Structure 1
Amino acid sequence: MNTIAPTDLDRVVGFTIPSRHARGRVARLGPVLDQILSAHAYPPVIEKLLAEALTLTALLGATLKGAQGQMTLQAQAPGAIVNLLVCDYKDGELRGYVQFDAVRLSQLGKNPTLNALCAKGYLAVTFDQATTKERYQGIVPLDARSIGAAAEQYFLQSEQIPSLIRLGTHRDRQGKLIAGGIFLQHLPEGEVGRERLHVRLDHPEWQHVEALATTMGADELADAGIPLENLVWRLFNEEPEVRLLSGTELSRGCRCDTSYISQVLAKFPAEERAAMADEDGVISVDCAFCSTKFPLKLTDFVSQPL
């Protein structure tokens, strides 16, 4: 298989294995991840959690058909150490942030489980299809050891599709965090209307693909020197046919800007906007995704006087 570059980052590549009724995607984040993380002063544990969540978001978001569709991953756990994590994907653009209790986090070890961070929380996965205007959402408890395992439970519960998700991170020589992941699904066999394979007592085709995928370690998934196509080749080179799909380039894509925020604030009554402003008549709006502050003057809304 042809290699593409000595450093393969910020891409998602899809593939199918027809004889095994399986499809998958591999992704790796580098500079995009660094841009998102650099907007915040997250401790290492939170950086790793967000890196895995963003990689998962890229893997799932890339399954959307058509432009302008959006996929959102949201973990909520009121009262937990991590009470909110939000990531979304739109046309290859990623963004995400985490809210957490720094004091309580410092009391945990270096590698806490997802359940320890988000006790009694839930994970919501939402797909907004732009072409059909349809929305699909599934919610599962955050009682797994990792966000990848929680997502597997989502697919099993919401879509009744056996899935495998593996995520990994490591730091390069410059200390930058690199994240990689693989996402596999078993498809219904044959024509529409046939039973889902997972309801059978035995489905060796999926078990074979799943077993191969589990041999891929975090060090390989997050190794920028291994092209994504080569990861697929390493896993499935003995299969009769593996079809590679076109890749998707990833970028950081916070969609906040002054115009959009002004439009949102304009929908509030004038007296409420006045209550939001400081003594100089300025409303300061912070974007949680990129940590950018947007100051807007009350005089900008003169069309709606008090």
Structure 2
Amino acid sequence: MQTRTELDRTLGFAILEQHARGRLVRLGPVLDEILSAHAYPPVIERLLAEALALTALLGSTLKNETGQMTLQAQTEGGPISLLVCDYKDSELRGYVQFDAERLAQMPADPTLFALFGKGYLAITFDQALTGERYQGIVPLEGTSLAEAAQSYFAQSEQIPSLVRLAHRHDADGRVIAGGMLLQHLPEGEEGRDRLHTRLDHPEWQHVEALGRTIKDAELTDPDLPMETLVWRLFHDEREVRVLGGATLTRGCRCNREHILGVLSRFPAEEQANMADAEGLIRVDCAFCSISHPIRLTELQAAA
């Protein structure tokens, strides 16, 4: 079987003369591994696939590998109560909490508002090396997750941006997701002035118009090199630099060592209250849908 190297990776690029930057992502086996941990209905599967693609686009912009980016949509009124994805050291994970009965009463292709009701989109960047933490929160608005992300950049970052997200099933029925983030360069990058609300840059309208020509089929084609896709979009520009990217994997931090470390911080009395009649503390991971039984005797021995 052919190895598809264009899956589970990101690619950055810069259009210097037009003062723009971009990033592409395409997910395959990593996405399949994350989705297979839960029996999600198709509409939730599609939503999480695009949310993970968006998380990879944003997370791969982190300046250092020890940082973490978290995307969270928390809502009221819709069948989905929580969507969480995060990115750390090129590792992705994510899950969705939802009311199955309410979801079953909806049409096959419900709107974003129907799924979430009133809610917000929160995007958090934690820089581990410096200890800095930045969070932007905006209303969850628009007809798609891509539009909600664009609203985040417009309101929270004040950076003109175009976000495109897409998904499809391959011949084996597995989900492939792709995405593109295109932005006007903010202060300090390639000599640009500070933007804030200065959106009167004609070069951005030019780049945005080109970006909007990208097709969903191109974003999700596992045999189309991302470098070729960048060339298709911007080959008439004087200089386009490919900035490299990251190889993505599925990652979850619910290993026994981590869990033991967290539980060991609790006093012995609280540990005993967490345990069942058999002396087990059962820690369930919502991300990977695995239960980790930890014996009280194991905690006592590690103390």
Give the TM-score band, short-chain normalised: over 0.9
CA contact (8 A) 2:51 2:85 kept: yes
Structure 1 residue 231, shift from structure 2 partner: 1.1
Matched, 1:263 2:272: no
The one of 77, 81, 84 aligned to 1:83 = 81
Partner of 1:196: 195
Residue pair 1:14, 1:24 contacting (<8 A) in 2 also: yes
Distance 2:4 2:119 in 1: 40
Equivalent position of 2:37 in the other structure: 39
- The alpha carbon displacement at 1:116 in A equals 1.4
For residues 77-226 of structure 1, what are the structure 2 equivalents within 5 Å? 77-188=75-186, 194-196=193-195, 198-200=197-199, 202-226=200-224
Q: What's 1:17 paired with?
A: 15
Instruction: Spell out, residue by residue over 1:127-182, the C-alpha distance to the aligned partner (whole angstroms, 9 max, x if none).
Output: 11123221111001112211111111111111110111000000000000000000
Residues of 2 paired with 1:150 and 1:214: CA distance? Answer: 16
Measure the CA separation in 2 of the matches of 1:23 and 1:192.
13
DSSP 3-state at the match of 2:26: strand
* Displacement after TM superposition at 1:111 (Å): 1.6
Separation (CA, whole Å) in 2 of partners of 1:157 and 1:235: 27
TM-aligned CA distance change 1:129 to 1:266, over 3 Å:
same
Please report how far the alpha carbon of residue 56 of structure 1 lies from its aligned counterpart in structure 2 after TM superposition. Answer: 0.3
| Alpha-carbon shift at residue 217 of structure 1 (Å) | 1.5
CA distance in 2, matches of 1:31, 1:296: 31
Deviation, 1:281, is 1.1
Residue 216 (structure 1) shift: 0.9
Unaligned runs of 5+ in 1: none
AA partner of residue 121 (structure 1) = G
Q: Distance in 1 between matches of 2:196 and 2:267?
A: 55
State the alpha-carbon separation in 2 of the partners of residues 111 and 228 from structure 1. 29
Could you state the TM-score of these two structures normalised by the residue count of structure 2? Answer: 0.94
* Separation (CA, whole Å) in 2 of partners of 1:64 and 1:301: 35
The one-letter code of the counterpart of 1:25 is R
TM-score normalized by structure 1? 0.93
How much has 1:115 moved relative to structure 2?
A: 1.7
| Aligned partners of 1:119 and 1:143 also within 8 Å | no
- SS of aligned partner of 1:264: helix
Q: Which moved more, 1:77-86 or 1:218-227?
A: 77-86
Q: 1:232 to 1:59 in 2, by over 3 A?
A: same
**1:186 Cα shift?**
0.5
For the 8 Å contact 2:67–2:129, the answer to whether it is kept is yes
2:195 maps to amino acid: R
Q: Give me the whole-angstrom Cα distance separating, in 1, the residues matched to 2:4 and 2:38.
A: 29
